[in-house]
A and B are shown apart, each in its own frame.
Chain A
Amino acid sequence: MYFESFSEFLAMGGHGKYVWIAYGLAAMIFALNLVMPMLKRKRLIVEQTRQLRREELHASDS
């Protein structure tokens, strides 16, 4: 372990602000890249399920 204490770890020898901004932003970019395809997939499946049901109803009508 490089740091003596947790507060020293947070302070990063006076560069805490810069280090934590960089790592925080990285975490955000990673999360965004994961969440976006998940949401898109969910939306697509809901949409398509509805569409398929509509087609089935239509088929049984005629």
Chain B
Amino acid sequence: MWRWFHKLGSPKWFYAISGRWLPWFAVAALLLLSVGTVWALMFAPADYQQGNSFRIIYIHVPAAFLAQSGYVIMAVAGAIGLIWKMKLADVMAKCCAPIGASFTFLALVTGAVWGKPTWGAWWVWDARLTSMLVLLFLYLGVVALQSAFTDRNQAARASALLSLVGLVNIPIIKYSVEWWNTLHQPASLTLTEKPAMPAEMWVPLLIMVAGFYCFFTVVLLMRARVELLDRERRTGWVKDIISSGKS
């Protein structure tokens, strides 16, 4: 276990192994997302109350899931970097931030576009929406902090602290629909209960969620690999990669 941990911390080893994983995640993401999108747009039945605007759920829910899990991953990676001074964890935490921010943005905007025909308003200051907006600001704060320091270790430390403090927002997002009166509907998918929707509605939703997670893995690995090349540019293995001309 410890040897594995040390190995995983080695940038060279990680670069090699992630290069082997990437195509598989890319293929899985492509397959899941194309099947999911076609199913969502063309085959899933319309909602009896919301009509076809309900199809936005297939973007909105996976984006919101990813926004929150991405944040937890970023905070955990940040904590590992803080405690064990593991460089790779710092890299991961840094690379999560812009991706997570983009998916939080997507969740918010698709929510607004769905809210207009459903609630009659693009935006309401309700608990779920506000706590998601706070999540976006937390992500943007981490992105800003990461570039605010010339010293990488300082940047990693400050960002990790901010992400850990912001972690408190995650249960607030989750329970916001239960703690406060809100327009937002409660969870569509839970681990413990059977969904209230028919299978031809929730199966494509699950496929989309899986596709979004695979895509997140792909772009996270891509970013982390570039970041590693940049940080390790003075080492032999990176020079070999650069001079051999292959990516």
Give residues in A with beta carbon < 8 Å to B: 1-3, 9, 12-16, 18-19, 21-23, 25-26, 29-30, 32-34, 36-38, 40-41, 44-45, 48-49, 51-52
Contacts and interface: CB of A to CB of B under 8 A. Distances in A.
B42 A12 contact: no
Contacts of B110: 22, 25-26
A44 B226 contact: yes
Interface residues of B, number: 43
Contacts of A36: 98, 223
Contacts of A14: 51-52
Given A18-B53, A44-B230, A33 B219 contact: yes
Given A32-B102, A33-B215, 6 more contacts: A2-B42, A15-B117, A19-B52, A22-B56, A23-B37, A26-B59
Contacts, number: 101
Please classify the interface of chain A as helix (H, G, I), strand (E, B), loop, or mixed, using the class held by over half of its residues. helix
Contacts of B222: 34, 37-38, 41
B106 A26 contact: yes
18 contacts: A2-B42, A2-B44, A12-B55, A15-B117, A18-B56, A18-B114, A18-B116, A18-B117, A19-B56, A30-B215, A34-B218, A36-B223, A37-B219, A41-B226, A48-B242, A49-B242, A49-B243, A52-B239
